[in-house]
Amino acid sequence: MEAITERVGPASGQRLQPHQHAVAQPVSFAGTFGLYQPAEGAKQGVVRKCAVLFLQPWGFEEMCTHKLFRIMAEELACEGIASLRFDYPGTGDALDPPDRTLGLSLWQDTIRLALDVLAQKTGGLPVILLGHGLGASLGVGMAADLDGLAGFVAMAPVASGRAYLRELQFWARVIDDGLGLAEHLRPSGMTAIAGHVMPDAKASALKKTDFSAVQPHRSIPHLFVNRADRPGDGQLAKQMEAKGARVETVDYPGYDAMVGNPAMARMPMVAAENVISWIVRRAAALGEQKRPLATDPLAVSGQDEDQAHLDGGDFRETALRFGRGKRLYGILCEPTGPRCGASVLLLNTAYDRNAGWGRSGVAMARKLAGEGIASLRFDVANVGDSPPVPGLPDQVLYAETQYDDVEAALAVLEERSLLPSVVAGRCSGGYLGFSCMTKDHRIAGACLVNPFVFYWDKRRRVEDGLAVVPRSLDTYKHRLFQVQTLRRLWRGKVDVKNAIRNFALVSVRRVLNRLGLAQVFSRDVRLEHRAVRVAFAALAKRKTPLVLLYSEHDVGLDHFYQHFGPQGRKLERYPNVRTDILAETDHNFSPAAAQQRYFEEIKALALAVQASKLPAQQIKAGVSAGKEPVSEPEAS
């Protein structure tokens, strides 16, 4: 088999294919969305007698592996192997189950239903389960009772539910520390990580579950992909083998680089290649289907291959693929009642999938729909479920190529009569929203959270800018005298050299900004300053409303003050801009109060923009009646 690394970029797995890959085909079942990747058979022109069902991990680990699953599904498709990946109820883009007292059985039942969907799509081909983390362990526990399996792959499996919950607790603390989230703002009395909250019933069931005690499927081959520094991985494989399972093991290089900083995550392509090679060998042993690809069961199923739907009471969601060659994936969330306000375009942050940090994108979209406001959340190219564009750089953050993706999303809204639109985004998504707003007049307003910058120098490597992002000076002062920091310093767990460098950098920048000398000492800073002021002036001339929300210690404030002075006093010349700095929150706006404020600002902006676009007599009628101006609901 041709090595994956010969076709992908080394940093994050961009395939160097001569043609544009389409997004996998959306499906919906059991209150969740899935993506069915049909077998292309591009190499041999045949479809193998095997399919793969992906079983995702949970929480932050799922966010980190989501792109990996997409890459692996595309590789398997090229080998003639179809696959299905999906979200468990209450995770990702799935609906929240009405009964939160159900334990792991709800997710296990969904796995069984996913197998039925995959069988329908492929004509009942044998299935290899491919699970990661908790998903791998759920599969181990179920495999013996499932029919039609041809193999099982467990990547970084969970051996003990109790130990897993302890690891989650530690992992969550590391993430919250990295965000600088104050202790009293962190979730307590629950199982939570990176904004993901596990229902008590599932956490309680996990606590009592020892996956090493289950009986394995003895008739199928197993591949365990084990992390060398996690003894539990290897122990689970040994115990399954001792119980009669046919077990092979390989190492899992690159795991830690994948689950570190999401903005700089590197996909573990060596491990992925080992897994795909193993699956291809198992599939080859089952033979090949010589029928033409055009008679694939999906092609004659009569179902819409480009979209799927979920009804959630006061909202209806449509998963769709769009853009040239159906290269982008997104979810349109519309109210089931009368629609009002401008639509909202929710933009990715870094490489997070469109569901957002802690499912914040999902929650935002559905709350907006409850107020009658439609929204579209989507993955830009090479993020989440949207494949990369061949020939373009692997690094897409702060790249002008993302404008094409936003333009395609706006075209979707325009085709469905959902304009005007406002954009909302955080950090790099905030930068993208601001940049696109200056270029496309279909964007009638923006609400941006903690934008890192308003201008990006094309000569600057994104990796250099993100590798060591300094905190604000106020954050350094606050953290310096924390007992936690002193303990870490004493134990040698603080990069003192880097901390001093960042502290000095931020201090100098703060002094220069306050003295108004930043532009004096640097030609590049002068050019950046001019570009930012020109962009703000253009938006002011168009009277395009812009809302900027910052957490009080965010590093983006230093860039903001550089252009608009301390506390943004120079913004007075731009009456269309409103800024607020929020206490008691972090860069991601994790606390519920910060999320609510973000929602209220977007809602108010969408309603205000739509009112300004309606005929004067319609606005007057709505206001005089004491109601929000509304437009007739549009057909989707």
Question: Is 2 within the bounds of a domain?
Answer: no
* Consecutive H or E run containing 629: none
User: Distances from the Cα of 449 to the Cαs of 22, 452, 549, 554, in angstroms?
Assistant: 31, 9, 5, 10
Domain boundary among 246, 263, 290: 290
Q: How are beta strands 221-226 and 246-251 bridged, if at all?
A: parallel
Are both 275 and 230 inside the same structural domain?
Answer: yes
pLDDT at 264: 79
Are both 108 and 146 inside the same structural domain?
Answer: yes
Question: Of 163-167, 378-382, 433-437, 477-481, where does mean pLDDT reach its minimum?
Answer: 477-481
Type of residue found at 450 = N
Write out pLDDT tens, residues 438-478: 999 999 999 999 999 999 998 888 877 765 444 443 443 44
Domain boundary among 237, 255, 290: 290
Question: Is 4 within the bounds of a domain?
Answer: no
Backbone angles phi, psi at 521, to 5 degrees: -90, -5
Question: Are 225 and 271 in contact, with CB atoms under 8 Å apart?
Answer: yes
pLDDT at 511: 58
pLDDT at 304: 78
Are both 369 and 277 inside the same structural domain?
Answer: no
Are both 92 and 215 inside the same structural domain?
Answer: yes
Nearest-10 crossing angle of helices 473-480, 496-515: 130
Question: Of 227-231, 292-296, 533-537, where does mean pLDDT reach its minimum?
Answer: 292-296
**Is 80 exceeded by the pLDDT of residue 480?**
no
Write out pLDDT tens, residues 189-248: 999 999 999 999 999 999 999 999 999 999 999 999 999 998 889 999 999 999 999 999
Q: Provide the domain limits for residue 31.
A: 25-290
Kindly give the residue spans of alpha helices, DSSP state H, lying in 229-379: 231-242, 255-258, 269-285, 360-370
pLDDT at 497: 64
Q: What is the dihedral of CA 56, 58, 64, 70, to 10 degrees?
A: 20
Euclidean distance between CA atoms 214 and 191, whole angstroms:
24
Question: Is 548 within the bounds of a domain?
Answer: yes
pTM for this structure?
A: 0.87
Three-class DSSP labels, 523-546: HHHHHHHHHHHHHHHHHHHHCCCE
Are both 273 and 368 inside the same structural domain?
Answer: no
Are both 368 and 269 inside the same structural domain?
Answer: no
What is the mean pLDDT of the segment spanning 560-574?
90
Write out pLDDT tens, residues 12-35: 333 345 578 999 999 999 999 999
**Tokens in use for 414?**
């325009």
Are both 234 and 178 inside the same structural domain?
Answer: yes
Question: Is 251 within the bounds of a domain?
Answer: yes
Euclidean distance between CA atoms 235 and 91, whole angstroms:
29
3 state DSSP class of 628? coil
Domain boundary among 236, 262, 290: 290
Kindly report the CATH number assigned to the domain that includes residue 324. Answer: 3.40.50.1820
Euclidean distance between CA atoms 46 and 44, whole angstroms:
5
Q: In what order do the strands lie in the sheet with 25-29?
A: 25-29, 32-37, 82-86, 51-55, 127-132, 149-155, 221-226, 246-251
**Is 90 exceeded by the pLDDT of residue 328?**
yes
User: What value, to the nearest 5°, has the Cα angle with vertex 334 and ends 332 and 335?
Assistant: 165
Tell me the helices (H) and strands (E) count for the chain, helix number first: 20, 21
**Tokens in use for 123?**
């004509």
Are both 442 and 566 inside the same structural domain?
Answer: yes
Q: What is the dihedral of CA 287, 291, 296, 302, to 10 degrees?
A: -140
Q: How many domains does the chain have?
A: 2
Are both 34 and 123 inside the same structural domain?
Answer: yes
Write out pLDDT tens, residues 266-291: 999 999 999 999 999 999 999 887 65
Strand-pairing partners, residue 55, are 131
Type of residue found at 361 = G
Question: Is 15 within the bounds of a domain?
Answer: no
Burial class (CB in 10 A: 0-12, 13-18, 19+), 592: exposed
3 state DSSP class of 273? helix
Are both 282 and 312 inside the same structural domain?
Answer: no
Question: Is 129 within the bounds of a domain?
Answer: yes
What is the mean pLDDT of the segment spanning 495-512?
59
Q: Which positions ≥6 away from 278 have C-beta within 8 Å?
A: 153, 223, 248, 250
Per DSSP, which regions of 188-314 are E strands? 191-193, 196-198, 221-226, 246-251, 288-289, 307-311
Are both 244 and 322 inside the same structural domain?
Answer: no
User: What value, to the nearest 5°, has the Cα angle with vertex 25 and ends 23 and 31?
Assistant: 120
**Is 50 exceeded by the pLDDT of residue 141?**
yes
Question: Is 466 within the bounds of a domain?
Answer: no
Burial class (CB in 10 A: 0-12, 13-18, 19+), 241: middle
Question: Is 492 within the bounds of a domain?
Answer: no
Closest to 366 measured CA to CA, from 429, 415, 310? 310
**Is 50 exceeded by the pLDDT of residue 337?**
yes
Are both 250 and 147 inside the same structural domain?
Answer: yes
